Structure 1
């Protein structure tokens, strides 16, 4: 096994006057790929199970679990679970969202978009499954951070279709060069 070190493995970010720098090991790409595939499988499986399961519905969870577990957004979850049009929306959005997020992560297409929605779903699950007996960090919160890391590291470029999509030429120019905003959804 060979590893290489290059300046490409160095990164830096500035937020509000604070600068952080890092240097990733060349094996980091394998771990980022593993995180992408793990979350992809988990969401694909969860979504496929719900899509194939007749009668899956969000309202019972929203009203009887999320709205009654003491979380700070309990009123919002109760509203969601008792508003017919919103329940109908969630009954489609949750299973198909999980399935499409999982599929996007597994094949490495539109990874940043998939990871954003995966992180959003995990944030909602974090509040819906509210439990702070062991602290405010739990599995849902950790998975939200995994999704954000997958997006930040451009995991779709690692053995993924995003690398091919970004290089696809339109009028002799790479797609992301022609449409730079695509970098927000690809990668």
Structure 2
């Protein structure tokens, strides 16, 4: 019932617009400052390896595979992450604010928040995960009052043409 409301109701689209603008601004602001001021993820990554998330009362890692990913892939490729994180945050913010590919932008925002949380950074991540998940679950209705109103029908039409061409070729 709630999912249907979020996915189909025009009133929900208006509420989602406000939510999109807030969450989008948070992402855009974070990404823009990282682009403008410079960003180096290596300190955060080193901290995530040196102080991994452990189970309370033990020294057992809660996310050993993620800690291994950071240690063996992300840290040696910190330059890639120095680029991916600011541009990713900026693109998620723009997608949400403009309402273009809204559900995709929200998905990647939630994904990034989970990665930050797995590394041990709590801050606003749980809140942003919740808000981003609501936007992502809302699907195309979240972007109804945005670029998705025009973009999604055009993409469906393009997909239909491509499928028709493939059927003719087969």
TM tier, shorter chain? Answer: 0.7 to 0.9
Q: More helix per residue: 1 or 2?
A: 2
Identify which of 19, 23, 26 aligns with 1:39. 23
CA separation in 2, counterparts of 1:77 and 1:87?
14
Cα distance in 1 for partners of 2:29, 2:5 equals 34
Higher fraction of strand = 1
Output the TM-score relative to the length of structure 1: 0.66
**Alignment pair present for 1:105 and 2:96:** yes
How large is the RMSD of aligned CA atoms in angstroms?
Answer: 3.1
Residue of structure 2 equivalent to 1:57? 40
Alignment equivalent of 1:92, drawn from 73, 76, 83: 83
CA distance, structure 2, for counterparts of residue 76 and residue 33 of structure 1: 34
The higher relative CO (CA closer than 8 Å, separation ≥ 6) is in 2
CA contact (8 A) 1:81 1:87 kept: no
State how 1:14-163 maps to structure 2 within 5 Å: 23=5, 27-54=11-38, 56-65=39-48, 67-71=50-54, 72-73=62-63, 76-77=66-67, 80=70, 83=73, 85-130=76-121, 139-153=124-138, 154-163=140-149
Q: How far apart are 1:70 and its partner, in Å? A: 3.1
